[in-house]
């Protein structure tokens, strides 16, 4: 029995903003508790987006609005394909295309903070993309298919043979979720040198679209985490949900105990971890399959 189908994809399309927004608020609440603060309501993210939608949009040029809309469309497209059970390679390429739209909107502003953030964002993409592609290859080696639907129907969970890929994907999610110590292209405080990074020249409804896009993207990323756990047994579904929540908590913990590092260290450590966790795991899988044959 597989849950990856078009009804689930439609459910993602409708419910992902609410799930992503709620967990964004929960993230802020848990972070505040870790820092000894009360923190905002778990619904604060929805309040923030609501206020942004009521404000007047100020942009450097109208191309930014088009590119932000492209970012949203391709992030949603990525998630819909994933939860419909489509090809994992095509899904990851669609996610990369969404990231390119996001970078281009900042680049089109021709502003100093945005230009700095664009350079750092491109370095981040170069850092995490190898692990993303290796993850797709790992699923293929283990299950014989790139199709998400087929991967979820395997006799055993992929994590049994892909522990290195699992750890590597969690590692690069620190970058994708824009958390410390690898949030080098963004800034959440006015005193930081990149201010709001790629969002420095966005405001109002356009900024709201960016926030909603991140909510869609985050739900998709945790869906990939769940894919490591799912198999053709019904018990794997609640286990996958528990693992997703544990990873969610782990990412918040890492964000709160680590200070932001320089992009050079981010790039170097990500590639080293990719080689250790991903490449070695892939070589072991290949040798195992050759030995079986």
CA 61 to chain centre: 28
Rounded to 10 degrees, the C-alpha dihedral 73/79/84/87 comes to 100
Predicted pLDDT at 147: 95
- Which DSSP state fits 177? T
- Over the stretch 246-272, which tens digit does the pLDDT of each residue have? 999 999 999 999 888 888 999 999 999
Residue 116 scores a pLDDT above 90: no
Look at residue 293 and tell me whether its pLDDT is greater than 80: no
pLDDT tens digits, residue range 3-36? 788 999 999 999 999 999 999 999 999 999 999 8
Nearest to 204 by CA among 52, 71, 50, 49: 52
Cβ neighbors of 260 (< 8 A, separation 6 or more) are: 180, 181, 182, 183, 184
Task: Work out the angle between the directed axes of helices 204-229 and 6-34 (0-180°, nearest 10).
Answer: 100
What share of the chain has pLDDT > 70, as a percent? 95
Predicted confidence (pLDDT) at residue 191 exceeds the cutoff of 90:
no
pLDDT tens track for 54-99 = 988 777 788 888 999 999 999 999 999 999 999 999 999 999 999 9
Q: Please check the confidence at residue 48 and state whether its pLDDT lies above 50.
A: yes
Is the N-terminal amide bond of 181 cis, ω within 30° of 0?
Answer: yes
pLDDT over 50 at 244, yes or no? yes
Please check the confidence at residue 196 and state whether its pLDDT lies above 80: no
Tell whether the model's pLDDT for residue 173 goes beyond 60: yes
What is the pLDDT confidence band of residue 2, given thresholds at 50, 70 and 90? Answer: low
Vertex 246 angle, CA 126 and 92, to 5°: 30
What is the structure's pLDDT at 291? 61
Helix residue spans in the chain (DSSP H): 6-34, 44-54, 62-83, 88-107, 112-143, 148-152, 163-176, 204-229, 236-257, 263-273, 280-292
pLDDT at position 290 is 62
How far is the C-alpha of 136 from the C-alpha of 85, rounded, in Å? Answer: 14
pLDDT tens column, 88-113: 999 999 999 999 999 999 888 887 87
Q: What is the pTM of this model?
A: 0.94
Give the pLDDT band (50/70/90) at residue 231: very high
For residues 98 and 78, the answer to whether their CB atoms sit within 8 Å is yes
Of the candidates 172, 167, 173, the one whose C-alpha atom is nearest the C-alpha of residue 277 is: 167
């Amino acid at each position: 029995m597989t849950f990856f189908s078009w009804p689930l994809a439609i459910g993602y399309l409708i419910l992902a903003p609410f799930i992503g927004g709620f967990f964004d608020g929960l993230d802020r609440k848990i972070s505040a508790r870790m820092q000894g603060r009360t923190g905002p309501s778990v619904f604060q993210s929805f309040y923030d987006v609501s206020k942004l939608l009521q404000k007047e949009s100020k942009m450097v040029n109208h191309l930014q609005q088009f590119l932000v809309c492209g970012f949203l469309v391709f992030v949603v497209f990525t998630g819909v394909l994933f939860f419909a059970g489509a090809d994992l390679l095509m899904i990851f390429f669609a996610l990369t295309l969404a990231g390119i739209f996001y970078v281009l909107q900042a680049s089109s502003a021709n502003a100093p903070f945005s230009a700095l953030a664009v350079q750092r964002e491109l370095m981040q993409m170069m850092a995490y993309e190898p692990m993303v592609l290796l993850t797709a290859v790992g699923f293929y080696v283990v299950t014989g298919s790139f199709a998400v639907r087929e991967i979820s129907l395997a006799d055993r969970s992929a994590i049994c043979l892909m522990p290195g890929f699992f750890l590597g994907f969690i590692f690069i999610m620190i970058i994708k979720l824009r958390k410390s110590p690898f949030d080098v292209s963004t800034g959440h405080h006015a005193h930081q040198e990149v201010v709001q990074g790629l969002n420095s020249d966005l405001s109002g409804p356009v900024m709201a679209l960016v926030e909603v896009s991140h909510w869609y993207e985050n739900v998709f990323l945790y869906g990939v985490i769940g894919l490591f756990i799912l198999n053709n047994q019904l018990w794997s579904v609640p286990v996958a949900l528990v693992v997703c929540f544990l990873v969610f908590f782990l990412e918040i913990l890492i964000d709160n105990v680590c200070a932001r590092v320089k992009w050079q260290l981010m790039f170097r450590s990500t590639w080293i971890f990719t080689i250790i966790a991903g490449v070695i795991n892939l070589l072991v899988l290949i040798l195992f399959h050759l030995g079986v044959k």
